[in-house]
């Protein structure tokens, strides 16, 4: 429950309308500790009091939380550009943004960028990585040995997408530790410190630029070699585009799945009934994954206004930012029955965890596979677990929300 600083009540379920932080409607703060701990209660109160908040801090922006307003923005790429997806920090001038096609591409370029990558992310293409994903999950749990306490976020949830994305890109095994470090510095530490973020961005760009320049990738080894091979038949597939697409896969593919899996394990560690139901019948895991994604959709994305418009009744002007928290739309009672409850087997679950419109996440099948395999292996090996006593979970800010650490007691 969201409370004022003088109220210690914490027993209400997520989404119970609480007290909005002071001045939130016209000065919201995505780093506010009250918001980070329980954004659901803030969104619930906003729907009735200020469905679109605004701020001038951290680069400024507007924050809609109703499903209808979020989707209206997402489905209108002409008015709300995807060229800069950051949710805090200065909005870069047009042409100076970090280009990560197809996520940062607008029509008409977007269609060609996405079409190039679609064959690599179909269900059959993703199925090739399932055995390796399970092998990674098994090895990570083996490494726990006889320990009764582990950090499930940083010793399990983090390392699975690092391994999978490295494999898909065809990158050296020995560089995986570096990928993790860059992702943390860009998306987690960099959410608060823009200099750290800039340094990480330059490091990642330099890494892929050197690989592409030297063609230092084995043939048929993954996505990067596929893109380099396609350059012979596609003059428009410049080295810059190849670097941008590879960069996108690295950071987006790691951080989103890491955060989602961490949130899932947190939920099961704190909801005994749900944990025991899934541990007893793992055939329900695919359905559970969709419900977890609805409830804990980790991504918040930015859009840049290109022409005068309104969002939820508030006027927005060219050059301003609109911030789309997919999880807020997923908790809208106008669209979802009992939106703040985990409903296993929910019949209608058209959630927005992967976004909406032309920019709906290309890696949805990949994320679903990773989460299904990782959770299934965890519950097979570790059916009984809780949060370590005295644990207070801190959640990440910025474009993704997930537990920074997740101390788990096994058994």
Burial 244-269 (b: 16+ CB within 10 A, else e): bbbbbbbbbbbbbbbbbbbbbbbbbb
Angle (nearest 5°) at CA 19 between 73 and 9: 130
Residues lower than pLDDT 50 in the chain: 1-11
In angstroms, the CA 360 to CA 305 distance is 19
- Count of C-beta atoms within a 10 Å radius of residue 204: 22
Query: Which residue's entry shows tokens 């920074």?
Result: 404
pLDDT score of 333: 97
Domains, in order of start, for the chain:
51-410 (1.10.630.10)
Q: What is the pLDDT of residue 13?
A: 64
| DSSP 8-state secondary structure symbol assigned to residue 90 | P
Residue 274 to residues 1, 110, 283, 370, Cα–Cα distance (Å): 21, 40, 14, 20
Compute CA distances 19 → 10, 23, 34, 49, whole Å.
12, 11, 10, 11
Q: What is the pLDDT of residue 159?
A: 93
Q: How far is CA 410 from the centre of its chain?
A: 27
Residue 37: the pLDDT is 94
pTM score of the predicted model: 0.93
Contacts of 5 (CB under 8 A, 6+ apart): none
Contact 42, 17 (CB under 8 A): no
Nearest CA-CA partner of 310 in 87, 107, 90, 79:
79
- Does the N-terminal peptide bond of residue 334 adopt cis geometry, omega within 30 degrees of 0? no
Q: Residue 4 has what pLDDT?
A: 28
Model confidence over 3-50: pLDDT tens digits?
A: 223 333 334 567 777 778 999 999 999 999 999 999 999 999 999 999
pLDDT at 197: 86
pLDDT of residue 176: 85
- The CA distance from 264 to 389, in Å, is 19
- Among residues 390, 395, 381, 398, the alpha carbon closest in space to that of 147 is found at 381
Nearest C-alpha neighbor of 42 from the set 26, 59, 54, 24: 24
Q: Are strands 300-305 and 309-311 parallel, antiparallel or unpaired?
A: unpaired
SS3 84: coil
Q: Is 41 helix (H, G, I), strand (E, B) or coil?
A: helix
């Amino acid at each position: 429950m969201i409370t004022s600083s003088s109220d210690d009540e914490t027993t209400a379920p997520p989404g119970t309308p609480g007290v909005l932080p002071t001045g939130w409607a016209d000065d919201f703060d995505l780093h506010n500790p009250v918001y980070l701990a329980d954004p659901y209660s803030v969104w619930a109160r906003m729907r009735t009091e200020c469905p679109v908040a605004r701020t001038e801090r951290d680069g400024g922006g507007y924050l809609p939380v109703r499903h209808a307003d979020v989707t209206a923005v997402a489905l209108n790429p002409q008015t709300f550009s995807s060229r800069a997806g950051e949710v805090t920090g200065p909005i870069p001038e047009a042409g100076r943004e970090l280009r990560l096609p197809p996520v940062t591409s607008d029509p008409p370029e977007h269609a060609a960028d996405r079409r190039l990558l679609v064959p690599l992310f179909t269900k059959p293409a993703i199925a090739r990585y399932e055995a390796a994903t399970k092998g990674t999950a098994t090895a990570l749990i083996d490494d726990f040995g006889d320990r009764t306490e582990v950090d499930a976020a940083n010793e399990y949830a983090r390392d699975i997408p690092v391994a999978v994305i490295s494999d898909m890109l065809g990158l050296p095994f020995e560089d995986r530790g570096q990928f993790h470090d860059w992702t943390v510095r860009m998306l987690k530490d960099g959410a608060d410190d823009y200099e750290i973020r800039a340094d990480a961005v330059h490091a990642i760009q330099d890494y892929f630029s050197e690989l592409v320049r030297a063609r230092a990738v084995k043939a048929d080894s993954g996505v990067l070699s596929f893109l380099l091979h396609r350059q012979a038949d596609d003059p428009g597939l410049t080295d810059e585009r190849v670097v941008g697409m590879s960069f996108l896969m690295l950071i987006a593919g790691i951080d989103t799945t890491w955060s989602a899996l961490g949130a899932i394990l947190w939920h099961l560690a704190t909801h005994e009934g749900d944990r025991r139901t899934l541990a007893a019948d793992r055939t329900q895991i695919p359905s559970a994954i969709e419900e977890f994604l609805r409830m804990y959709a980790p991504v918040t994305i930015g859009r840049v206004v290109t022409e005068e418009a309104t969002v939820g009744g508030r006027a927005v002007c060219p050059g301003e930012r609109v911030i789309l928290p997919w999880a807020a739309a997923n908790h809208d009672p106008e669209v979802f029955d009992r939106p703040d409850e985990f409903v296993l087997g929910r019949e209608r679950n058209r959630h927005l965890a992967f976004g909406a419109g032309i920019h709906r996440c290309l890696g949805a099948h990949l994320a679903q596979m990773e989460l299904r395999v990782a959770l299934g292996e965890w519950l097979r090996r570790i059916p009984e677990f809780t949060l370590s006593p005295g644990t207070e979970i801190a959640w990440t800010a910025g474009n993704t929300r997930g537990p920074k650490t997740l101390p788990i007691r096994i058994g």
